[in-house]
Amino acid sequence: MNKVIINSPLGFTLIEGDELGISKISVTSNEEELSTIIPDALTTAVTQLEEYFLGKRTHFDFKLNPSGTEFQKKVWKELLKIPFGKTVSYQEITNQLGDPKAIRAVANANGKNPLWIVVPCHRVIGSDGSLTGYAGGLWRKKWLLDHENPVKQQVLF
């Protein structure tokens, strides 16, 4: 398993993976291990994340290989359908999966997403529009949503 730590506007980012795909992208506090050499298997992911943070990329197309249960993978696959700059509620995801009562299980799978930003769990909000929980911290979720949708509605007088 290869790993690299890069700097991003949201802190240090750990990326892990191999020739089968990227298995983990997460926030880390391990700045002393900031990478100077990027393994070949991670080059595309690093480049695409850097482009995302620069506002030059709205989707990712490198191979993913997350570890999780079949249900978690089903939820993560559904998250990949959320368009850039848009949000959906946990209830909407649950309804799309065909079991409106599974909202807690969906929220739990969302919280265990190992592929920060790429599988856009930050685009899932409460039914009332609230940001709700986020493993990376609500300030990061807000930053990501603002980054993806910089044009705010303005009130005209």
Catalytic residues: 121
User: In the 8-state DSSP scheme, what is residue 105?
Assistant: H
- Count the neighbouring beta carbons within 10 Å of the beta carbon of residue 84: 12
The H or E element containing residue 12 is strand 11-18
3-class secondary-structure state, position 22: strand
CA distance 107 to 124: 9
Residue type at position 151: V
Pull the structure tokens for residue 11: 């802190």
